[in-house]
Amino acid sequence: MPHEPVSPGKNCPDCSRLVEFRAENSKAFPDWHNAPVPAFGSLDASVLICGLAPGKQGANRTGRPFTGDFAGDLLYPTLLKNGFAKGKYGATPNDGLELLDCRITNAVRCVPPENRPTTAEIKACNRFLRDEIAAMPGLRVIIALGTIAHGAIVSSFGFKKSAFPFNHGGMHTLNENIRLYDSYHCSRYNTNTGRLTPEMFDAVVRAARHYVSSPPK
Ligand code: URA
């Protein structure tokens, strides 16, 4: 049986800079979520997708990872195409979209200024990621979106980052049950600059689909 992972409370005090930013946003936009964003999807899933951190006007506004910003416009249709979601992505948490065999979380749960968490913030939030992973008994694949998510996952397993260099389209074996697939982050910047095309992103998600659709050895 999955256990409920330890999650940061709504007023998590761990990172002073993020607490300050949260207070600023709460004042300017009182109707927004403005709190650590919980993971989305079942703990029974075989796939965990790990992003960087909530976008200010995306997950930090809506309260659901990748919901309401550019990155979600690429992520969710790609999940729908590969059978990891059903319904319709409507950029709002009440769009009825359901994840199938897939859960989504972030390396850092609170929105950081300029979308850039500090090393200390990534480290402080790592215990939540570690417990998220520990709470998924059937986990077989983690998809890291970008180098920061990749590093946070590698650290959460107790490995040195240098042991598993980030490699878009690459795969790393983390233990006998869990593989890590790397993708460049599906951000607006990466797609606008052509670093990540929808086809490249689809290929990573398709590889995960292919792997989890075959029975565990
Ligand atoms: N939204 C998220 O929840 N995470 C990201 O990494 C980007 C946007």
* CA 114 to ligand 1 center in whole angstroms: 12
What share of the chain has pLDDT > 70, as a percent?
A: 99
Q: Which alpha helices (H) appear in 33-176, and where do they start and end?
A: 59-62, 70-81, 119-134, 147-156
Q: Render pLDDT for 147-186 as a digit per residue (tens, 0 to 9).
A: 999 999 999 999 999 999 999 999 999 999 999 999 999 9
| The pLDDT value given to residue 110 | 98
Q: Which residues pair with 25 in a beta bridge?
A: none
Q: Where are the domains of the chain?
A: 16-213
Is a pLDDT exceeding 90 seen at residue 197? yes
| The pLDDT value given to residue 214 | 85
CB count within 10 Å of CB 37 equals 30
Which residue of 32, 57, 106 sits with most ligand 1 atoms within 8 Å of its CB, as the best mutation to test the pocket? 106
* CA 215 to ligand 1 center in whole angstroms: 30
Is a pLDDT exceeding 90 seen at residue 215? no
120 Cα distance to chain centroid: 18
| Sign of the alpha-carbon dihedral angle for 178, 181, 185, 186 | negative
Q: Render pLDDT for 79-117 as a digit per residue (tens, 0 to 9).
A: 999 999 999 999 999 999 999 999 999 999 999 999 999
Contact of 41 with 168, CB cutoff 8 Å: no
| The pLDDT value given to residue 3 | 84
Q: Which atom of ligand 1 is nearest to the CA of 58?
A: 1
| The pLDDT value given to residue 2 | 66
Q: Which atom of ligand 1 is nearest to the CA of 37?
A: 3
The CATH T-level fold of domain 16-213 is: Uracil-DNA Glycosylase, subunit E (3.40.470)
Q: Render pLDDT for 6-65 as a digit per residue (tens, 0 to 9).
A: 999 999 999 999 999 999 999 999 999 999 999 999 999 999 999 999 999 999 999 999
